[in-house]
Each structure stands twice: as C-alpha cells, then as structure tokens.
Amino acid sequence: MNASMLSYILLSCVLLSVQAHNCQVREIIRNTKSLLNKTEESWSCRETAATPCSCLPIPEPGHELACFVEGTNHMMEHNMTTDNRLFLLNQSFQIQLDRNLCESLTSGKECKYKTKGTVKTFLEKILKTYQEIHKSRV
C-alpha cells in the first residue's frame, strides 16, 4: 500500500465521520433543559375535555424513542410552542429511531406507554433518559 492509497483511505474515513450521526446526547439534554426552563404559562395547553394537558406518552422501557417521536410530533401538531428546539428534538429522535444510533436505547418501533403526562413530565422523562445514557458513558 503506497502513500497515495493511504491518503484515499484517510479521506474516506474523514468523509464518513462527517456524514455519520451519533446519539447526540448532550444536544438533546441541552434542548430539553431549555424547553423545561420555559414557564408553564408559555405552553399553549388549556385543560378541556377535548384537549387534555396530560396528553403525551410516558414510555415503557424499550419504547422510549418511538414515544418521544410521537410526543414531540403531537406537540408540534398542536402548536404547543414556537420554540425551534422542539423541532430539533423531534428530528433527533426520528433519526435515532430510524438509524438505531443510540445503542443504549433499544428502539422498539412502536410507542408503548402505561400513562400519559403533561408537557413537563414528558420533557422530564426525556431529560432523565438521556442523562442516564450520558452518565453511564466512560
């Protein structure tokens, strides 16, 4: 293997590393924390029979990503906030679910939940899930 071939291999590795996504744990934690810091009044959620505030799935173990995708989709569809971080979170969850990027999260494709929660409990569940991943990293 001569020097020029080695250069080609190195370039391929560099390009692949740029293209590849990772689990983006820190970014998700930051965005979730920012959304949680918003006051509750800023969430457009009025409790009615038709539009309950406890409307977001709190996932069972093994179905976190699917429920996070579903929950953030629901928040965007109902215009619960105009904060772009919600869109970024939704995108991250969707990509991680499609590509199995988070080894720590077994990606069950279907959202399974026992209970539904408010925006606050839903975001806290996201935060806790990814804090656990980050803490377990060496």
Partner 1 sequence: MQGGLHTKHRTMAVPGASLVPILLLGLGIRLAAAHSPAGVECILFNEEYMTCTWGSGQTLTANYSLYYWYENRSPVAECKQYLWERGVRTGCRFEQSEIIQFQPFHVRVNASQDGRILEIPSNRMELQNLVKPEAPVNLTIRNMSSNQLQLTWSSPYPKAHCLEHVVKYKSNKDTSWMKQEVKGDIFSFPSVDYEKFYTFYVRSKINNYCGSTQLWSEWSVPVFWGSNTTSKGRSSPEPPGSPRHPHTVLTVSPWLFAGMAEEQLQWFWIHTVLIPIASCLLLLVLVVLLVRMERVWVIIMPRIPNPNKNFDDLFITHNGDFQEWVGVPKDVVESFKPNYSESICHVSELPYEPLQDSIHPPGVPGPQEHGPYKNSYVGA
Q: Which residues bind partner 1 (CB under 8 A)?
A: 4, 7-8, 10-11, 14, 18, 25-26, 29-30, 33, 127-128, 131-132, 134-135, 137
Nearer to partner 1 by Cβ, of 21 and 26: the residue is: 26
Minimum CB distance to partner 1 smaller for 8 or for 103: 8
Task: For partner 1, give the closer residue by CB, 3 or 49.
Answer: 3
Shortest distance, CB of residue 136 to partner 1, whole angstroms? 9
Determine the Cα–Cα distance for residues 2 and 41; give it in Å rounded to an integer. 65
Distance CA 33, CA 111 (A): 23
Which of residues 46 and 135 has its CB atom nearest to partner 1 in the complex? Answer: 135
Q: For residues 22, 26, 32 and 33, what is the CA-based torsion angle, rounded to 10 degrees?
A: 180
Tell which residue, 19, 27, 134, has the closest CA to residue 84.
27
